[in-house]
Chain A
Amino acid sequence: MTAKDRQLPDSRGYFGQFGGKFVPETLMSALYELEQAYLDAHADPGFQQQYHQLCREYSGRPTPLYPAQQLSAKIGGATILLKREDLAHTGAHKINNALGQGLLAKRMGKTRIIAETGAGQHGVAVATVCAMLSLNCIIYMGDEDIQRQSSNVFRMKLLRAEVRPVSSGSRTLKDAINETIRDWVTNIHNTYYLLGSVVGPHPYPMIVRDFQSIIGQETKEQVMTMYHRLPDYLVACVGGGSNAMGLFHPFFHEKGVKFIGVEAGGQGLETGHHAASLVAGRTGVLHGTKSQLLQDKSGQILVTHSIAPGLDYPGVGPEHSYYKDIGRATYVAVTDAQALEGFRLLCDTEGIIPALEPAHAIYYAAKLAADLPQNQLIVINLSGRGDKDLDIVAKAIGMDL
């Protein structure tokens, strides 16, 4: 990463007017300590080498950039490429960040790791890394998500993580984060909070972005090797926004590359049952950061809905709010029904079962591709595989498993 890329966040953790550190006083010193430890690790070639070696030998990186010829042919427009994060160990991009922060926690001498999870992909990634690095692991997960992502709960338990159900509020990711923060405030002395997306107080949005940027860095090299040019569009789903930021960020200064973030339109924006914070939210503060937020007129956080548990979050990373603000990225919403179409389209054409989160991106990219000439290149971040979602999809399409 060059000095130029490191300009944001600023020293106070802001991306333009978004970001910051809105947390209880008890956590402030720990955030400064984390920031210093991260910057030291980041500048240490030994740490970087260890991270990249594990990415290669343990996670199976680089993940392929796959030209989806059948999908592209069926649509009959632009050329679609899939960045295959679903092929990384544990089946999603979440491992990139879990590995990086796990190493950081170890380096800081922390022995107890806590994390939130929505879909369970981050929880599984953290449990995996903790098993490998011999760290104690506690995962907070909303009751609602435990019900709908039970296979991931079992995976976490097999990896000897303790899964603590959260029954407050909407019983999803938002509430799991509240509970993880409460644990961190209580056990601050020995505990590392391994946050899973580009959200939360500074320095988390920066740390998670940096570890996920390996997605965009690889994509850049791969597309240059294959096509001797940069892509025209990058399309990724956005819940908290880590897979999208990981893909986008290394292309920030490449002005010809357009970024499209696809949010969860749920049952339709007009119904209010969705999770499209960038498309339909307004500025607020949640979980330590100032960003776009789904809230009522009194500033209470709204209960969100998405068929994809990993997108079911009322906030979004502050850097995405900044990208929207400066017009660097466009954000759109795709409904549950459209995401299911995207899901089936990829199954049918490419023999790949995507997670419901990137199925949102697939649907949008397919529509986009249809109106573009074949020489245009669209990269979709296929951020995870769909095994975890089979129950949800079966129910949605009325199939009995």
Chain B
Amino acid sequence: MSRITSVFRPGYKALITYLTVGYPTLETTYEVASILANNGCDIIELGIPFSDPLADGATIQKASYQALQQGITPQLCLEVAHQLHQRIATPLVFMSYYNPILSFGLETFCQASVKAGIDGIIIPDLPPEEGAELEASTKRLKLDLIYLLAPTSTEERISLVAEKCQGFIYLVSLTGVTGARQTLPPELEDFVNRVRQMTHQPLCIGFGVSNPEQARRAGRIADGVIVGSRLIQLIEEDATFSSLKSFTLSLREALNLI
């Protein structure tokens, strides 16, 4: 059982949060990660910024762009992960587009990740069809390679992802890019049920989740929820991070009440 899978236990709903490393500063990443870890967050996704984030909406696009302007590199993200791993016990996952990892060297990157204390990797532009080479490294090094499913995924694809995915399956709530949404789609329950019938893996819902009410709805049907863009907005809105802290607590409470 990996550090990620051990988060998922009967009756408990996991809270997973996303941060773009180095946005707006490296200090922010350290400070916010600690706040998240101390206020009910179970897994932290560290976003490695990429120049062409085609699965992301405006909020994460802007954060990625500015992080790159600050000189954030995959190497620096590894160092941040290493530092955080010393400070907090929360499992850490890298979220990165494929090219920075490919450019680093797949095996080298996986080795460095393990050394830095990373538990898993999520790559939004890597479907399982293209994952064999990376899987060879992640499996041997016991890193969880987390694949995604979307409302458009066919039964054939659900079983392919269920077979290849480790840690948890990332369910993309809607057809679209990342970003806070007022409402989640009405078909969400059907989608989750469709996946649930085909696998026993933990299922976590992300994309669009941006308030406790949505977290509760997602948490009722899934094993965890993933929040990203809304947290980045809160970092922008309040530099003391007190609204980010109370928001995180409110998500945790919403999930505990299920």
Cβ contacts under 8 Å, A169 to chain B: 51-52, 65
Interface flag for B150 (CB, 8 Å): yes
Which of A208-216, A248-256, A296-304, A379-387 is the interface stretch? A296-304
CB distance from B112 to the nearest CB of A (A): 13
B102's partner among A29, A284, A287 (CB-CB below 8 A) is A284
Measured CA separation A287–B54 after assembly (Å)? 8
Chain A positions within 8 Å of B148 at CB level: 24-25
B12 located at the interface, meaning its Cβ lies under 8 Å from any Cβ of chain A in the complex = no
In the complex where A185-B175, A284-B102 touch, is A298 in contact with B73 (Cβ < 8 A)? Answer: yes
Interface string of A162-181 (1 = CB under 8 A from B): 00000011000011001001
B residues neighboring A (CB under 8 Å): 50-55, 57, 61, 65, 68, 73-75, 98-104, 124-127, 129-130, 147-154, 157, 161, 172, 175-177
* CB neighbours of B101 from chain A (8 A): 299
Top-8 shortest CB links A-B: A299-B103, A299-B100, A26-B150, A186-B176, A300-B51, A298-B73, A25-B148, A25-B150
Q: Counting CB contacts under 8 A, is A21 at the interface?
A: yes
B127 near A295: Cβ-Cβ < 8 Å: no
Which of chain A's residues has its CB closest to B73's CB?
A: A298
Tell me whether A22 and B54 are in contact (CB under 8 A): no
Q: A23 with B127: in contact, given A182-B54, A285-B98, A295-B103 (CB under 8 Å)?
A: yes
Q: Tell me the nearest residue of chain B to A284, going by C-beta.
A: B99
B73 contacts which chain A residues (CB < 8 A)?
298
Question: Which residues between 1 and 46 of chain A lie within 8 Å of chain B, taking CB atoms?
Answer: 12, 20-30
A20 to B125: give the CA distance in the assembly, Å: 11
In the assembled complex, the Cα of A185 lies from the Cα of B148 at a distance in Å of 14
B188–chain A nearest beta-carbon distance, Å: 14
Cβ B153 vs Cβ A29 within 8 A: yes
The number of chain A residues with a CB under 8 A from chain B is: 37
Indicate if A189 sits at the interface (CB-CB under 8 A).
yes
Known: A178-B53, A283-B102, A300-B68. 15 other contacts (CB 8 A): A21-B129, A22-B126, A24-B172, A25-B147, A25-B157, A26-B151, A26-B152, A28-B152, A168-B65, A182-B54, A284-B102, A295-B99, A298-B100, A299-B50, A300-B51
Pairwise interchain contact B150-A24, C-beta atoms closer than 8 A: yes
A170 to chain B, nearest CB (A): 9
B126 — which chain A residues lie within 8 A by C-beta? 22
A288: interface (CB < 8 Å): yes
Residue in contact with A181 in the complex, picked from B50, B54, B175, CB distance below 8 Å: B54
Q: Are B175 and A20 in contact (CB under 8 A)?
A: no
CA distance A20 to B65 in the complex (A): 27
A28 to B172, CA, bound (A): 13
Report A195 CB to chain B, min CB distance, Å: 13
A12 touches B129 (CB 8 A): yes
**Which residues from chain B contact A25 at a C-beta distance below 8 Å?**
127, 147-150, 152-153, 157, 161, 172
On whether the beta carbons of B52 and A285 are closer than 8 Å, the reply is no
The answer to whether A188 has its CB under 8 Å from any CB of chain B is: yes
Measured CB to CB, the nearest residue on chain B to A12 is: B129
**In whole angstroms, what is the CA distance A301 to B52 when docked?**
7
Residues in chain A near residue B127, CB distance under 8 A: 21-23, 25, 28
A286 interfacial contact with B, CB 8 Å: yes
Within 8 A of B (CB), among A138-154: none
Chain A positions within 8 Å of B154 at CB level: 29
Nearest CB on B from A1, distance (A):
25
How far, in Å, is A166 (CB) from chain B's closest CB? Answer: 11
Assembled-state Cα–Cα distance A287/B147 (Å): 19
Min Cβ gap A276→B in Å is 19
Residues of B within 8 A of A181 (CB): 54
Query: Could you say which of A29, A185, A186, A299 has the most chain B C-beta atoms within 10 Å of its C-beta?
Result: A299
Please name all residues of chain B whose beta carbon is closer than 8 Å to the beta carbon of A284 when the two chains form the complex.
Answer: 99, 102-103
B70 to chain A, nearest CB (A): 13
Give Cα distance in the complex from A284 to B99, angstroms.
6
